[in-house]
Amino acid sequence: HAVRKAVEKVIRAHAKKHTFDELVEKVILGDLAAEVFDAVKKIIPVRECEIRKSKVLKGPEEVKTRRARLRRATGAAAVKEE
């Protein structure tokens, strides 16, 4: 329970400080995982920490519109193929 809270605290702090694109970059490059590792190793001994999967629960408006455009484009392509 304490580990999950520590992970959530680090991720939320970064989400508040950085833009969406910067946050995605930190996840991809492993910078965020390194900071999570530092926070978690104070609670429990760990060898490594990776972020394997992420999900946008609430994002900036530009992400929502981009996602909607992709869905429309994918749907239109599927209709044209039939």
For the chain, domain boundaries: 2-81
| pLDDT digits 0-9 by tens, 46-81 | 999 999 998 877 766 767 777 788 888 876 554 444
Percentage, residues of the chain above pLDDT 90: 51
| Average pLDDT score, the chain | 84
Q: What CA–CA distances, in Å, run from 81 to 29, 64, 70, 73, 75?
A: 37, 26, 16, 12, 10
What is the reported pLDDT for 72?
84
Distance CA(50)–CA(42), nearest Å, equals 17
pLDDT for res 82:
46
Q: Is 78 or 43 the better-scoring residue by pLDDT?
A: 43
Structure tokens, 37: 């590792």
DSSP state of 46: -
At residue 17 the predicted structure's pLDDT band, cuts being 50, 70 and 90, is: very high
Q: What is the C-alpha to C-alpha distance for residues 51 and 62, in angstroms, rounded to an integer?
A: 24
